[in-house]
Every structure is written in C-alpha cells, then in structure tokens.
Amino acid sequence: MEQLPENDHIWNRKLIHLLWWILLIYEVAAMIGFLFDIYGQPTQWLHSFLQFQVIPTGLQLALMGAGYLAIHFLKRYSDFIMIIWTMTMVCIYIMCIPELMSSYELISIPIILSSVYFQKKYIIFAYSLGLASLTALVPSQVYKGYLITPSELIVTLTVLSATALVCFAIMRKGRTLHAQLGASTLREQDLLIRNVMIDRLSKVDALTELFNHRSFQEHTDHLISHMPYDTPLELALMDIDNFKKINDTYGHWVGDVVLKTIGGLLKDMLGPDDMSFRYGGEEFAVLFVGKTHEEVLAVCESFMQIIRETEIPEMPGRPLTMSIGLAPYNRNTMKKAWFQQVDECLYIAKRNGKNCIHTYLSDPYTG
C-alpha cells in the first residue's frame, strides 16, 4: 500500500494554530472566572490571578516557545514533537485547573490528534506517552491531595485504550479510502491516455504520422468558419508520380518507405501556420494559411526540388517526382467547388507530363 507522507508541515501548522486558539479561549475563560472571583472573594484575587492566569499562561507560553524551537531544529521529528507538545499542554491544564485535576481522560486528546497522520507508529507513540503522563500525573496529584480511586484509574485506562483502538480503526479506514482514491485516479489517468491515443489514431495516419483525411475535412471547416476574412488560404494537392509502378516494381513495402519519407519531408518543410495531411493513397494535402500565392508557389517549387533530390535506398537510381495542384480559397466559392478546382489542377499537372505544378491562377509550372 502506498505510504502517506510523513512530517506534513501544512497539517502541523494548522495544529499549532489550533493550540493557539485553545490558549486564547482558556485566557478568555480564565479572565471571566477571575472577575467572578474578585466579585465573590475580593481578598483572594491575587491568589486566583496567580493560580489560574499567570502560572498556566506562563507555562503554556514557555511550551509554545519550546515547541517552535523543537520543530525548527528537528523538522524530521516534527510529527512526534506535535504529539508531545499537545500532551504537555493537556498535562499543564490538568495540573493547574482544580476542576480538571481528576479529568485524566483529557490525555486521550493527543491520541486522537495522532490519528491525523494515518500511521500506526504515531498512535502507538501517543498512547504510550499518555500512559507515561498518567503515571506521572497520578502521584503528583495525590501529593497535592487529589486522590484517585481504583475505579477512576480503570475508567481512565479504558478511555485511553478505547481511544487508541478507535484511532486505529479511523487510520485503517482512511488508508483504505486513500488507496481507493489512488486506484481511481490511476484508472482515470489510464482512461484519459487511452482516449487521447484513440483520438490520435482516429485523426493521424499511422504510416506517415500526418493528419488523415478526416482531420483534413475538420480542419478545413474550422479554418473557413473562424479564419479572418482577409487571411489568405490556399490548398495544395500533391500526388506521387508513377506510384503504382513503384509498388509493382519494388513491392508495397518500398511504397510505404516512399510515403513515410515524403511525410517526414513535409513536416520538416512547412511553417507553423501550415498543416499537411495524407489525403489518401499516394496523395497529400497541404493547407497554407496567411501566405500570398507567390509565397505558396515558392514553397511548392522548393518542395518539388527536395523530392527530386531525395534518394530512396530501396530504389537505387530511380528518381522520385510529384505533381501538384494548387488553388486559393475564395469566400464566394463553396468548399466542394474549391476542392474540385484543386483536383482539376492536379489532373492537368498529371496530364501535362507530371513533375509539375498547375495553379488555378496561372499556367502550369514545370520543374
């Protein structure tokens, strides 16, 4: 089972704030009691002030200072220090407040506190410290004249033991919930990763690692709907020349090498605003965003030259060429008509001898 973190400084700071609140509440209650004592026994006000105000407050402030120093210099043992701190605070109140001098059950408070760390060693330590404190308190209280009967001692020991057992049950339940939460988080993370992978597989071509035809349609629709009116958008359809012959001559696995190579070259060549897709078979599509027609044409010419200079080791001595159809998007043209324009340009490039670019705005360019 996964271990919960030790020395939780955030929790310890909260507990220290709680101790300050307890001290503040005691000071307010003691001051109210002191005022009643002045009213009821005017001659005994100094004794009451010393017994219920000065001595407990001085001891508690000294304890606070010692606690801060101990945690500062012994951070590694801060959890144990908090338990000792709380136990000492309880013992001071039991010793200084007459109404609490027989309330040994208050020793169970630090045991309850130890359960927030969700580890057995802290509960065992708090329980052992409680027994030791009880062993020290009883003789000192008897010395002051506050006797404890065997039945009271048995009740106190029973309360301490029952508190420890309840804390063990709380700890086990908390650790079980923590483990279940961890397992649930892992399942959610695994499901998220699977969904991302499935989404990627549905949008990315596994061979070329370019976006597929479905992604092309979605991205094109998004650009047309959200792109600023004056932003130029141009589509290039690229087709590998004589690809069927490559497959027939060298085998389909070599054809896959060619497709993968071209896909990698496209990703390396395009700018951050442009997107490349495997349109289908040996055809690739590129959406150019924010470029003039001259800039797009220059990029396509440069890419065709790179393709011509690329050597496929599995096809020694055989040149690799592509034909490209190119057309800009017109807001007054339907998307389907735009695609048909680009497809027609690609058909003309093929018909004009391949290894060339044909644009919807100009005559064919032959490399």
Structure tokens at 89: 């605070």
Q: Three-class SS of residue 24?
A: helix
Confidence of residue 195 (pLDDT cuts 50, 70, 90): confident
Confidence of residue 2 (pLDDT cuts 50, 70, 90): very low
Per 3-state DSSP, the chain is made up of helix, strand and coil in percentages (nearest 5) of: 70, 10, 20
Nearest to 58 by CA among 32, 100, 30, 18: 30
Tally Cβ neighbours within 10 Å of residue 333: 14
Confidence of residue 1 (pLDDT cuts 50, 70, 90): very low
Q: Is 254 within 8 Å of 282 (Cβ atoms)? A: no
Q: What is the pLDDT of residues 304-352, one digit of tens each?
A: 999 999 999 888 888 899 999 999 998 888 899 999 999 999 999 999 9
At residue 259, the pLDDT reads 94
Rounded to two decimals, the pTM is 0.53
Q: Is 271 within 8 Å of 308 (Cβ atoms)? A: no
Tally Cβ neighbours within 10 Å of residue 132: 12
Q: Three-class SS of residue 64?
A: helix
Amino acid at 138: V
Is pLDDT at 173 greater than 80 in this prediction? yes
At residue 179, the pLDDT reads 85
Structure tokens at 253: 């696995």
Is pLDDT at 363 greater than 80 in this prediction? no
Q: What is the pLDDT of residues 131-156, one digit of tens each?
A: 999 888 888 777 777 777 888 888 88
User: What is the rounded distance in angstroms from the CA atom of residue 282 to the CA atom of residue 278?
Assistant: 8
At residue 364, the pLDDT reads 44
Backbone angles phi and psi of 146, in degrees to 5: -95, 95
Interhelix angle 213-226/335-351, nearest 10 degrees: 130
- Which DSSP state fits 193? H
Calculate the average pLDDT of the chain. 83
Is pLDDT at 6 greater than 70 in this prediction? no
Is pLDDT at 367 greater than 50 in this prediction? no
Q: What is the dihedral sign for C-alpha 309, 311, 317, 318?
A: negative
Q: Residue 196: is it exposed, middle or buried by C-beta count within 10 angstroms (0-12/13-18/19+)?
A: exposed
Amino acid at 217: Q
Q: Three-class SS of residue 6?
A: coil
